[in-house]
Amino acid sequence: WTETLFPGAVILRRYAVERADTLISELDAILRQAPLRQMKTPGGRTIAVQNSSCGEFGWISDTHGYRYIRFDPISKAPWPAMPQGFKDLAIDAARAAGFDKFIPDSCLINRYLPGTKLSLHQDKDELDFNHPIVSVSLGMPAIFVFGGLQRSDPLSSIKLEHGDVLVWGGPARLLFHGVKSVKDQPHGTLGSQRINLTFRRAK
Ligand code: MD3
Ligand code: FE
């Protein structure tokens, strides 16, 4: 059940539902090695969303800026490997949306507790914007907001639910987007949290 939201932006509703329990148990193992943490913005503010990563590169933010690095700054070890099931899901979803050359080298893990929001931003820390980004929503629903290529462009919003997958490529790759404050509507398996996995080609 797919729908194009904007040229290059495709929602694959419930695409990951059958794989969700496996993803969640693999995620548990990843987060034991690389726990979720709240990072600082370059300006020194605490990011509300909790983050971790798996794959060859992990996204970080600190007083020096936003970037992808090979080592978890907490453990000093390489980020946990990306499980093959994660990689397969991202590749399958990208292909279903028309991007047949996507191989992720990074998966950013975002956790939202009730009341957490993500302000409007663009994803510009990757080397090559020709690669799409694939996002997988798990747990509580959230209202996702997206606009245009300028912050001032009008916004649209859609509800993202457990198992929904979004692919953002081509003309949609640099759209402004964010997430409204997440309401507490506990999910059957994940409880009072929303997890978002974004698969990227960082380098
Ligand atoms: C549109 N995450 O991690 S996922 C992010 O739900 C991020 O956690 C949100 O924005 C979340 O950067 C939104 C959907 C998404 C992800 C990446 C995009 C939409 C995007 C990149 C470009 C355009
Ligand atoms: Fe983003």
- In which residue are the tokens 């080298």 written? 105
d(CA 202, ligand 1 centre) in Å: 14
Q: What is the pLDDT of residue 95?
A: 98
DSSP 117-139: -EEEE----SS-TTS-EEEEEEE
For 91, phi then psi, to 5°, come to -65, -45
135 lines ligand 1 (CB under 6 A): yes
Report the interhelical angle of 84-96 vs 20-33 (nearest 10°): 130
* Model pLDDT, residue 89: 98
For the domain that residue 194 is a member of, what is the CATH number?
Answer: 2.60.120.590
pLDDT at 23: 98
Domain ranges, residue 131: 2-200
CB atoms within 10 A of CB 167: 29
pLDDT at position 50 is: 98
Span 116-163, pLDDT tens digits: 999 999 999 999 999 999 999 999 999 999 999 999 999 999 999 999
User: Is 164 a pocket residue for ligand 1 (Cβ < 6 Å)?
Assistant: no
pLDDT in tens, 7-23: 999 999 999 999 999 99
Ligand nearest to the CA of 176: 1
Q: How many structural domains is the chain composed of? A: 1
- The number of the ligand 1 atom at minimal distance from the alpha carbon of 146 is 1
Beta-carbon count within 10 A of 137 CB: 26
Give me the percent of the chain exceeding a pLDDT of 70: 100
Amino acid at 5: L
User: Tokens 């919003």 identify what position?
Assistant: 157
Residue 118 Cβ < 6 Å to ligand 1: yes
Specify the amino acid at residue 9. Answer: A
What ipTM was estimated for this complex?
A: 0.98
Please provide the average confidence, as pLDDT, over all residues in the chain.
98
- How many angstroms separate the CA atoms of 83 and 182, rounded? 28
pLDDT band at 73 (very low <50, low <70, confident <90, very high): very high
What is the model's pLDDT at position 168?
Answer: 98
